[in-house]
Amino acid sequence: MPKPLIIVESPAKARSIGKYLGNKYTVIASKGHIRDLPKENMGIDIENGFEPKYVVLKEKKDVISQIKKASEKADVILLAPDPDREGEAIAWHIMEILKDVNSNVKRVLFNEITRKGVIHGLENPRELDRNLFESQQARRVLDRLVGYELSPLLWRKVKRGLSAGRVQSVALRLIVEREKEIEAFISKEYWNLGCMLASGKDVFKASLAKVDGKKAEIGNGQDADAIEEILKGKPYVIKQIAEKKSYKKPSPPFITSTLQQEAARKFSFPAKKTMQIAQKLYEGIEIGKEKEPTGLITYMRTDSTRVSADAITSARDFITERFGANYVPEKPVIYKSRKDAQDAHEAIRPTDAMRSPEMVEKLLDEAGTSGRDRNDLLKLYSLIWKRFIASQMKNAVLDIVQVDIERANLQLRAQGTTVSFPGFTAVYEEGRDNSESDEAEGRLPPLKQGQELDLKKILKEQKFTQPPPRFSEATLIKELEEKGIGRPSTYANIISTVITRKYVEREKGRFKPTELGSIVTEILVASFPEILNVEFTAQMEQKLDDVEENKVEWKVLIGDFYGKFHSTVKQAETDVQSLKSRIEETDIDCSLCGAKMVVRWGRNGKFLACSKYPECKNTKEIRMESGTIQIVEPEARNEKCPACGKGMVVRKGKFGSFLGCVDYPACRGTMPLLLPFKCPKEGCSGTLVERKGKKKVFYGCSNYSSDGGCDFSTWDEPIAKPCPQCGHEYTFRSKPRRSSRTFLKCPKCGFSKDEEEN
């Protein structure tokens, strides 16, 4: 007997929904997109209105066969990929391949994977949304056009393998320009002064606020010393005491961008990891002794702070039960979304407010979930739950006492803050991007106006103004959102791409542009000022949103953009100088012939070369520090050159690092570079070594020989990062095919994790 066929994109989601519906429905997964633009060519017919030429993904042929076979037996097909643009595109492509098999197709949306959420979705089917699909298609086509024309330009002018993108390149520009701000920053001296004062046995701190009635600005040690002399005297008299109450409001429940920011602040989660964990929480994880898949949060790609009335009631009931009625506001708290919010979905919240983190922890334990995955799931769920519950609680009330103290012509100020009613802070407080700069304020002792205080200690500290900080994951996402660059659902991929392409690197948890990232940005900004313009990118995002609202036809939008863009690319082919031909003069003398050295660009970045090349082939590795050239001397090794007997140093070549003679270029003796890692093959005493393959470097054992010995080899690079699970001294950096992600894998216990995780 025919029955409805539900098609979702994720096997985990299919299992969760199948448990709720039993055998009344058939539920299968497409495992993501089934069609896309081809990899081997642009796949866009520019002459025919930018019509995309989609192809079936090779790895999805079996899935499509399964879908078609199941569709033949179904009375209705319910397409239920995620309720967003990408989900609509997946649904649209499935509908296209099924139009000759079964045309009775509807779209259903599951905002939460719970019994209630699934039933609600099935009771409210709709037609597929062409505008929503075309909004996704317009983005895909636009990004393909930009990437396919800009990236080859970088290959020819810089080096192969680079990429540029409509949004990623603008995000990179923000990071590069912040670095320029930091380098150009001129630090200024200033002094903080104050003292420790006593009222009886109680001691508290007061800071210098005014000098001669004006704001205290002490810019040098001489002025600081003069004020210190005044502070040594007496009396210290309280001139004014001001008391006030301050009310601290809770933050709204999470949207995609704020969840990514807060998870980065509190757990150092990369945005990509946050979204992966949230996806699992949404699609359903096994909890309880029955191990029933249960969706624990609502859909995690949203820009709306809207919450259903039922969810608000549930939260208020929980707050009353756990904290008491005095913690519940008189009326439910309603938060306004941003003006440009699509408002298609609720905020990110727990599917059941009564399911506390403590309860979820117990249910995970009962289901036997353990290890890192369990801890990460619990961390993110707790964050989402606490933020949501806190959003429906009363404000925190703070008592603030501000005391002004006079000493001669100086005014000092002391401030004490106490919490008179914790309100929402009993559950949750938002993290801060630069919390180290905030000083905690405690309670002040009882004080009276006109009271004289005793000096206990003078505080004097020299400080210097600091440049703006580099972007962290949280602050970069915040900046992208505020400037309208990209959309929250794309932030994780943007950040992942600029890291994978080695345009930026993490230093102490913050993004620093590499030399490659800086030079790529320099070329793109000079040649494509409009495309790399922040305001232009934000306006384009808004126009793409307008496609969804049916305010503009997508082909017209692409056509208006492409003509000027294509002409600019053609002009850049002529105007942009190849880095290989770019030469920067220096005052550095060649150590071999005495001529001046020049800076050139090679496959590994900038290097010093003799200006007399090819007569003199002397080169030096360099690094740039605050715009200054620093020569990097090659690392010496104990080995002797097999050709001349002199020492050997570590050098870099086309296929990675190797040992080369110190007398190069006179002597060209080389040896493989032994790495400081033992061969992982059991019973082998060899050491790992870099070797040349036909196209790239691989790593083998030093005990290898053509007639026997150890046969261990791998394409994965060994790096000095111990395994967090078993403590093995090193791990391998692995990059799967067709993936932009890199993983660290332990050769001993098999543990694997995304390298972007801190």
Q: Catalytic residue positions?
A: 299
Alpha carbon distance 203, 457 (integer Å): 10
Q: For 558-587, b where at least 16 C-beta lie within 10 A, e where not — what string?
A: beebbeebeebbeebeeebeebeeeeeeee
Alpha carbon distance 691, 707 (integer Å): 18
- Locate the DSSP E strands across 217-287: 236-248, 285-287
Q: Do 43 and 37 contact (CB within 8 A), yes or no? A: yes
Q: Do 722 and 713 contact (CB within 8 A), yes or no? A: no
Q: Do 691 and 672 contact (CB within 8 A), yes or no? A: yes
Neighbours of 217 (CB within 10 A): 9
Alpha carbon distance 687, 730 (integer Å): 13
Enclosing H/E stretch for 439: none
Alpha carbon distance 704, 714 (integer Å): 13
Q: Which residue has the tokens 């993108």?
A: 165
Half-sphere exposure of 532 (CA within 13 A, CB side): 20
Alpha carbon distance 339, 398 (integer Å): 31
- Locate the DSSP E strands across 46-144: 51-52, 55-56, 77-79, 105-107
Look at residues 231, 160, 164 and name the one whose alpha carbon lies nearest to residue 193. Answer: 231
Angle at which helix 85-98 crosses helix 130-157, to 10 degrees, equals: 100
In the chain, the largest separation of any two C-alpha atoms, in whole Å, equals 97
Look at residues 725, 742, 726 and name the one whose alpha carbon lies nearest to residue 734. Answer: 742
Q: Do 260 and 480 contact (CB within 8 A), yes or no? A: no
Alpha carbon distance 255, 261 (integer Å): 10
Q: Do 657 and 673 contact (CB within 8 A), yes or no? A: yes
Q: Do 247 and 395 contact (CB within 8 A), yes or no? A: yes
Alpha carbon distance 107, 127 (integer Å): 6
Q: Do 586 and 599 contact (CB within 8 A), yes or no? A: yes
Alpha carbon distance 591, 610 (integer Å): 9
Backbone φ, ψ for residue 345 (5° rounding): -135, 165
Three-state secondary-structure class, residue 533: coil
Enclosing H/E stretch for 138: helix 130-157
> Can you read off the two tokens belonging to residue 560?
């208006």
Question: Cα torsion for 134, 37, 61, 27, to the nearest 10°?
Answer: -30
> What does each C-alpha distance from 314 to 254, 352, 391 come to in angstroms?
17, 8, 13
